Amino acid sequence: MRKKVGLIGYPVSHSMSPQMQNGAFEKAGLSYVYDKYEVHPDQLAEAVRDMSEKGFAGWNVTIPHKQAIMPYLDEIAEDALKIGAVNTVVNENGKLTGYNTDGAGFLKGLMRHVSFPMEEAKVLIIGAGGASRAISYAMSKEGPKTIAITNRTMEKAQDIFSECLRDQDQVISLHEAEERLTEFNIVINTTSIGMKEDRLPLRVNHLKAGTVVSDIIYNPFKTALLKESEKRGAIIDNGVAMLVFQGALSFEKWTGVAPDASLMEKIVIEELGGSYVNR
C-alpha cells in the first residue's frame, strides 16, 4: 500500500504541493501519495490524532495551524522552536516530530544565485511576519557579515532581532533601508506588498547592480520589486524557489532521499501557468 503524506491547512484548495510532491515521488520511484486536507481550527487535535493513527508518514502544515499544532507533537526540532512554527511533521511509529523547512528551503533557493562567500554577505530583510522569522533564523545560521531587518511595524522587527538574529545585526527603519540600500548585496522581500498591487515595499533608487534581490511572492511571477531591481542590474529570484525547496526538504524528511527539485520547480511553473497575474 502506498504511504500517505499530505497538507493540512484552512483553506488548502490553492496549494500546488500535491502535484509537486506526487511528481517527485513518481520520479524517485517511491510509493507515496500526497493529498490536501482542509482542517478547520476546531478540528486540528482530532485531525492530528487521526493522521497519526492512520499511519501517515508525515505531513505539511500551513496557515492557520503552523503554531497551533505544536502542543500536539511529541518533539519539536530546534529550528521550528526558534521560528515558533512547524510546517513539516514526521510520524515515526506514532511519535510525531515537528520541523520547519521554510527558512532552510528559502536559503537553498537563494544560494543558487549567491556567487560570493557568505562572510561577505550584507543582507537586508524586509518584513517581520511569519515568513520573515523563518528566513531571518535560517539566514543568521548561514553566517553572513550582517543582517538588517526593516518593517512597517518596527516592534515586530525588533522581536525577530531579539529572538532570531545576532548582536552584529540590526533593526533599521524603511527610510534608512532605502537610503543605505547600496550597502547590501542581498535584499529579501518577505512582505505581501506586490502580490495584489503593483507596488514596491521600498524605493530601490540606491540599489547596486549585481545585488541578489529575492521576493517570496510567486504570483505575479515578477513583482514590481523584481522588475525595478532587474532594471538596475540586480540578480532576481521569485518565491517559486522557496515553495519548491521547502517541499524538497519535507520530502527528504519523510523518505530519507532527496527529490528532483528541478522537476518540482517545473511542475510548479506549469501549474502556475494559467493563473499568473501578468502586469
Can 66 be counted among the known catalytic residues?
yes
Using CB under 6 A as the binding rule, whether residue 152 contacts ligand ATR is answered as yes
**Pick from 23, 103, 127, 247: which binds ligand ATR (CB under 6 A)?**
127
Secondary structure (3-state) at 222: coil
- Least CB distance from residue 42 to ligand ATR, whole Å? 22
Scanning 11-19, 130-138, 217-225, 238-246 for contacts with ligand ATR by CB under 6 A, the matching segment is: 130-138
**Pick from 136, 140, 151, 255: which binds ligand ATR (CB under 6 A)?**
151
Closer residue to ligand ATR, CB minimum distance, 5 or 85 = 85
Using CB under 6 A as the binding rule, whether residue 168 contacts ligand ATR is answered as no
- Least CB distance from residue 238 to ligand ATR, whole Å? 15
**Pick from 62, 130, 208, 252: which binds ligand ATR (CB under 6 A)?**
130
Among residues 27, 36, 66, 95, the one annotated as catalytic is: 66
Residues lying near ligand ATR in the complex (CB under 6 A): 127-132, 151-153, 156, 190-193
